[in-house]
Amino acid sequence: MTTSANFPCEGGCVCGAVGYRLLEDPLELHVCHCTSCQAVSGSAFVMCMPVHMRGLELLQGEPRLFSFESPGGGAKRDRRCANCGSCVWGEITPEIVALQAGTLDDKGWLKPIAHIFVSRAQPWVEIPEDVLVYQTQPKDNLELVRAWKGRNDK
Ligand SMILES: [Zn+2]
Ligand SMILES: [Zn+2]
């Protein structure tokens, strides 16, 4: 299965006020089943795509900062469209943001490399066999980065 993307690729919020361009391959892509991700998305899980800030270009709009404490997840800093509330990315470090992969226009190439917090996954969720699986958080996030790069280099 080819899961390669053509960069740059674009995305944005649901109302169209916020648009961005991703210039380079993300660091990795994983699914998080933690209870905070379920609550914040109102869904069963979140697709989380860490990218370098320098590889992300804001095309339009100004995503508003929402910062809050998440029980078990620590401080969260999410950037959301001020008009429709879509979360476009969360700030992890000053250099790295977690792009919400569902906001990309083309989602055909998105094949997560890992599933984390599977101990909290809803019971009907089936975890694919060819991914890294973590009951909670990976001790070393670089495992995911290496696995993502390794698969895409094949
Ligand atoms: Zn919007
Ligand atoms: Zn989570």
What is the Cα gyration radius of the chain?
A: 15
For residue 81, report the distance from its CA to the centre of ligand 1, in Å: 5
Strand, coil or helix: what is 66? strand
The set of long-range contacts for 91-96, using a CB threshold of 8 Å and a minimum separation of 24, is 91/65, 92/50, 94/53, 95/52, 95/53, 95/54, 96/27, 96/50, 96/51, 96/52, 96/53
Looking at the domain 10-153, which fold is it? glutathione-dependent formaldehyde- activating enzyme (gfa) (3.90.1590)
For residue 120, report the distance from its CA to the centre of ligand 2, in Å: 10
Token pair listed for 110? 């998105």
For residue 38, report the distance from its CA to the centre of ligand 1, in Å: 20
Q: What is the mean pLDDT of the chain?
A: 94
For residue 30, report the distance from its CA to the centre of ligand 2, in Å: 10
pLDDT of residue 85: 97
pLDDT of residue 70: 80
For residue 83, report the distance from its CA to the centre of ligand 1, in Å: 5
In the predicted model, residues of the chain with pLDDT beneath 50 are 1-2
pLDDT of residue 73: 67
